[in-house]
Structure 1
Amino acid sequence: MATALITGASAGLGLEFAWQLAAAQHDLVIVARDTERLDRLADHLRAAAGIQVEVLPADLADREQTEHVAERLRALDNPVSLLVNNAGYAVDEPFLGGDLAKQEASLDVMVRAVMVLSHAAAGQMITRERGAILNVSSIAALTASGTYSASKAWVRAFTEGLSVELRDTGVTATALCPGLVRTEFHERAGLDYAHLPEIVWLNAADVVSAALADVRRGVVISTPSLRYRAASGLLRMLPRSAIRAIQGAGSVSGTARPR
């Protein structure tokens, strides 16, 4: 039975990844900061799917704790076949005048941890000539929404470069670039998007299902839903000056951060 490791598994897309992979009979290693929440989820997954679940509490903003997760990914005695780098969050304040420590922590979680864990996973997967890495980016990678966009743009570009290095190894890399998804992501970030029309929202189950299907096919950039694929195409065609102008028309911290 294959094993998947999911970061940010206690909520949002990470939680949906855990349930769908459990339903597909993957053993799991679930990673997040909240030990109590992870333990409760593990009990539910074991009872519902009859799988093995390892609980690995870690704050990925901490390099030492990130290394503990990397060590698990390097293990060859019970190897991880799928890494889902999902952990992430938005800092609900502008960069200028904001708390720099918060911005640094978000960079550690969404950039450094993705790099460290991808490196650890790829090493053991190449040895076995099989495996997949799924890094959660965002359509925000194509916008100019502050440090969140910058982090997600890095994830997208990094994953594309990783996929090139992994060619002909039996290992794949996929960047998931969803739009707005109905999860607790925005609520936890203190972002109120109640004014947005229903059509902009995606269902978490559909996003995860599409992402896993793309991983199986070896797709490098996964953008669930036709409407967000169209939006992604438009954003890639627009001059960056136009994207900056569109971003500037909104409030500094009130522009939607898809995820």
Structure 2
Amino acid sequence: MFRKADPPVQLKTAAEIAKMREAGKVVARTLDMLRAAVEPGMSTLDLDAVAERCIRDAGAVPSFKGYYGFTGSICASVNEEVVHGIPRAGKTLREGDLVSIDCGAILDGWHGDSAITLAVGEARPQDARLMDVCEEAMWRGIAELRPGKRLGDIGAAIDGYMRSQGRFGNVQEYGGHGIGTEMHMDPHVLNYGRRGKGQELVEGMCLAIEPMANAGTRHVVELDDGWTVVTRDGERSTHFEHSVAITADGPLVLTAREENRERIAALGFCDPGF
């Protein structure tokens, strides 16, 4: 029985990775601005306007706007919405909501892609816990991005951590991806898997690592708008993502924000140059 060949993957030079870091900085600054802007009474379309202005002021272009007809510059997914929420004037944020913001930018032909989940106002303890578990699962996955590792190691690290933390739903229908001169490229990066299995990771690969954690079961469904994905049981969801380059010296987080500085240093990752 023949093993299916691994898909070809775009490998980047050090100079190209440096350009991707610049695109990543645009995304990082935009997410920082959105974090500061989020407050009760805003609509998700208001957030979209903030993001588009920040991206274009940096000389970049929103990756998402017009992508297969998507109308927003960000995805803004509220509470039970998992991913791909369309920014809308009528979607008003309320105290205690969770909003997951996925942001992408193109600068000089290179893409950056990152996501965070924020509480609107003060987070409920169970929501804070859900966000912490999802974000830490992302870091566990990123820690596997070293030459000689396998794609399955990433998924195993993410899924294993979530399982160790209690009854959280690890969404399986969506996952990470290669990134570079296109936003979505091979390989697809599952958020579950078996260690030692799957495509080998090599220097020059750039991958977006993005777990989604649900407060209830892992099951999701896409709404009739053709974009918005929600939890099937109506429980809340969270989403975190970073774009990362695989280097000989370890992971280089291309979309790193200032608030990630201590975490990156503690994990022994490459200094992304804040």
- Same fold judged by TM-score > 0.5? no
Quick one: higher RCO (CA 8 Å, sep 6+), 1 or 2?
2
Report which of the two has the higher share of strand. Answer: 2
